[in-house]
Amino acid sequence: MFLSNGSLVTKTPVMLDRSDFFPYMPAMSNGWPSAYASIYTSQLWPYTVINKLANGTARLPLPVYRRDELSRPRADDHPMARLLAAPNPGMSMFDLLFSTSATKDIYGLAFWFKQRVRGDVKALFPLHPAAMTFDDERQRWSFDNGRSTMANIAPQDLVVFRHYNPTSTVYGLSPMEPLRATLENEWSARSATSAFWARGGRPGAVLKHPRRLTPPAAAALSARFDALQGGSTNTGKTLVLEEGMDYQPLTLTAEEAQYIETRKLNREEVCGAYDVPPPVVHILDRATFSNITEQMRSMYRDTMAPRLNAFEAAIELELRAVEWPNDDVYAEFLLDEVLRGDFEARSAALKSADWMTLAEKRRIENLPFIPGTDRIFMNTATLPLDAIDAQAAALVAQTEAPPEPAAIPVRSILGRLSWQKTLDQVDSEALIAGLPATAAARVTAALASASTVAELREAIK
């Protein structure tokens, strides 16, 4: 027996096929199985579609990351990562995800029970929803499958996955419920086909004789005809009729031909209820080369993505936030592998991904790391419009020769020094009056460094 504190006393509960958990499922006429599990095990298309979705969910990796949007480091050493990698001794994560997805799609509800050791979650076990009942007063679930019993299960000991139900926030709505009429029609059609082959009175052909035959003669003629034309080994043999007999094959009527179209409609309605593109389950009536690839991709892009987000949200809300509230980690399904394009498409996409390093691109293709490839290389020919003029000016400035220093009008300055005998007699302002700024600065520097008028004249020269 499981206890609400997570102790495991007896074996894991077994799957049941009970419909009394669902009060809105009365017994149907003609022996139609009203229990959801019976529908899954007895009707092909619900079985096919539910398994397709379950396999598509279970095949995806579910790693745990630390919440760092820049580098997204893996947290494989975190307790939640180890728990999701090996949920319990009897099930792999693939088995648990397959069971959870299929159970949710059959019953609209699925549960994980947390087995605890000294308060810490050490295992996750599935609980079958047909054995679960909810106490409105205590707001607790109870489990009873006839072999194991748990009463008053604490909410923190469960992870609950449910489909939306407009009439209840506790019980999920099975996708089979809107399909009740369709599935009953499919069941009736299959029952009618079985009855036709078992008890159908219509032969495959009629032999008409112009006269009245005695019973022995009719029996002998029928036996002879079956020996000559009956069975697959006699297909194509020539038939010779005597005494004016006439052969008339019997074909399907228009109503019977429409019955086949109805069967096709039933399977497409099952796909519609589960939002699965028909080509994904090999219904290729209207598939073309151009649309089948896109519909296959839409299986994960449009159908699986919301389902996976719902799984992630339940794990985040009722597992991570309850058991490790202070750890900034999260679990996320990886869709990279299933959404990969062909080699040519991937090569073109990676070539245009300038925002990725070569190391990141090689990791996508499962290639080893090469030192020096963990840098981003950008094409510098691509510039904002407002940066083009600045870059052009910088390039021009780098290529142009530096300007020649301004020439000093030597004769004019020497003429201003024609009568002075000492530097005290030199008027500095009059000496540089009218000269360019560069020439004036050079003359002023020469005046400051000279000790005689002769030295000043030589410096200016």
Higher pLDDT, 78 or 296: 78
- The DSSP letter of residue 27 is P
What average pLDDT does this structure show over 4-30?
Answer: 39
Higher pLDDT, 216 or 413: 216
Answer whether residue 13 shows pLDDT above 70. Answer: no
Model pLDDT, residue 10: 34
**What does pLDDT average to over the chain?**
77
pLDDT tens per residue, range 417-428: 777 778 777 777
Answer whether residue 49 shows pLDDT above 60. Answer: yes
pLDDT tens per residue, range 84-123: 999 999 999 999 999 999 999 999 999 999 999 998 999 9
Tell me the pTM. Answer: 0.62
Q: Which of 4-8, 307-311, 386-390, 439-443 has the lowest mean pLDDT?
A: 4-8
Answer whether residue 327 shows pLDDT above 60. Answer: yes
Answer whether residue 459 shows pLDDT above 60. Answer: yes
Model pLDDT, residue 359: 84
Model pLDDT, residue 433: 78
What average pLDDT does this structure show over 163-189?
Answer: 83
Model pLDDT, residue 399: 60
Higher pLDDT, 209 or 203: 209
Phi, psi of 433 (to 5 degrees): -60, 130
What average pLDDT does this structure show over 175-194?
Answer: 76
Model pLDDT, residue 25: 41
pLDDT tens per residue, range 235-281: 667 777 777 788 777 665 545 545 566 667 778 888 888 988 888 88
Answer whether residue 343 shows pLDDT above 50. Answer: yes
What average pLDDT does this structure show over 215-239?
Answer: 76
Instruction: Kindly indicate the confidence band of residue 416, based on its pLDDT and cuts at 50, 70 and 90.
Output: confident
Instruction: Kindly indicate the confidence band of residue 204, based on its pLDDT and cuts at 50, 70 and 90.
Output: low
Question: Helix axis angle, 93-107 relative to 305-315, nearest 10°?
Answer: 110
Query: Which percentage of the chain shows pLDDT scores above 70?
Result: 74
> What's the rounded Cα separation, in Å, for the pair 103 and 323?
24
What average pLDDT does this structure show over 393-416?
Answer: 63
Model pLDDT, residue 5: 40
Model pLDDT, residue 262: 62
Which of 159-173, 249-263, 352-366 is most confident?
A: 159-173
